């Protein structure tokens, strides 16, 4: 049941996003579209309540509870980013908006972008680990909490991997191909002389 609810929450996120953007741009009902988009956090609240209820009703703590915590953590930190990403593309495609701004590809600007994405991933891992700890305290001595602790360990790996990726872009910044139009701008933004 909990796994089905996680899948339904993910599908619901994309359905509400599409419906909200369609109302905003296609139906020219921006307030209705915003109201639909503001309903998205309710999906996470429902999932959180259902997970707690499952544990309260004697559900054995398992990977489904860990997955629910991870899903909530990543939706909290990445949901707004995904809504803005989709909104920019929808506005460009259907409402004559400007082309969406793409993340920088080279130099220190790319490294800064990767650090921002890393911060989101670390925040998601921290939220998930906190929810898992709350579940561990909630279950107490009544059940085996080893699966929940295993998910906490995975969140440490996620945070560490996010830092390593950002650090890699900082230490070894990606350079534009020789002769590319953005060569000078990328070199200037990275603070290196152009060769």
Among candidates 67, 52, 56, 60, which has minimal Cα distance to 6?
A: 67
Cα 78 to Cα 40, 82, 131, 160: the distances in Å are 12, 6, 17, 18
- pTM assigned to the model: 0.85
pLDDT at 190 (0 to 100): 44
pLDDT at 76 (0 to 100): 96
- Running along the chain, 195 residues long, what does each successive block of 10 average in pLDDT? 93 97 95 95 94 88 94 96 96 94 94 97 98 92 87 97 97 86 46 41
pLDDT at 109 (0 to 100): 95
pLDDT at 1 (0 to 100): 84
Write down the residue that tokens 């990543």 correspond to: 74
Question: ∠ CA 161-165-169 to the nearest 5 degrees?
Answer: 165
pLDDT at 144 (0 to 100): 86
C-alpha–C-alpha distance, residues 72 and 118, integer Å = 17
């Amino acid at each position: 049941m909990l796994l089905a609810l996680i899948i339904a929450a993910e599908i619901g996120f994309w359905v509400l996003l599409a419906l909200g953007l369609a109302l905003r741009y296609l139906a020219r009902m921006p307030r209705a579209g915003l109201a639909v988009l503001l309903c998205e956090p309710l999906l996470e609240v429902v999932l959180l309540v259902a997970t707690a209820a499952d544990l309260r009703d004697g559900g054995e703590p398992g990977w489904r509870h860990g997955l629910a915590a991870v899903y909530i953590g990543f939706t909290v930190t990445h949901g707004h980013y995904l809504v803005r990403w989709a909104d920019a593309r929808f506005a460009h495609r259907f409402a004559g908006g400007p082309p969406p701004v793409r993340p920088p590809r080279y130099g220190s600007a790319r490294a800064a972008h990767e650090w921002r994405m890393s911060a989101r991933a670390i925040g998601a891992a921290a939220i998930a680990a906190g929810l898992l700890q709350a579940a561990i305290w909630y279950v107490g001595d009544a059940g085996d909490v080893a699966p929940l602790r295993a998910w906490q360990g995975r969140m440490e790996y996620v945070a560490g991997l996010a830092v390593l990726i950002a650090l890699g872009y900082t230490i070894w910044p990606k350079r534009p191909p020789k002769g590319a139009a953005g060569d000078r701008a990328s070199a200037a933004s990275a603070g290196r002389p152009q060769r």
